Amino acid sequence: MIYFYSRWKAAKSGLSSIRVFNDVLLTGGHGITMWDLESKTIIMTYLGHPGLITQMETVPNTDYFVTMCQTERHLRIW
């Protein structure tokens, strides 16, 4: 049997990517939600991709992260 420590509703539709970044969790679907891991609250939401975000990567030694979308030719740097 599997037990969950906690459960957070991260999006209205399905999620397609996650990434731990510094002291936050990034969840991606049609947008990005930034969560404070300690308080389990939303810090910020980001919009900007036209479709599902398929990948999120952090940029080492910075506060930036990069996302890509399955229907777009551009990367987004946040």
What pLDDT digit, counting tens, does each position of 60-70 carry? 999 899 999 88
In Å, what is the CA distance from 33 to each residue of 1, 2, 11, 25, 76?
30, 26, 8, 8, 15
> Is 10 a residue whose pLDDT tops 70?
no
List the structure tokens of 23: 């002291």
pLDDT, tens digit (0-9, with 9 covering 90-100), for 17-61 = 899 988 899 999 888 999 999 998 999 999 878 888 989 999 999
Residue 9: pLDDT band with limits 50, 70, 90: confident
Helix (H, G, I), strand (E, B) or coil at 76: strand
- The answer to whether the CB of 74 falls within 8 A of the CB of 48 is no
- Answer whether 0.85 is exceeded by the pTM: no
User: Quick one: which of 37, 29, 32 has its CA closest to 8?
Assistant: 37
User: Quick one: which of 73, 67, 72, 77 has its CA closest to 17?
Assistant: 67
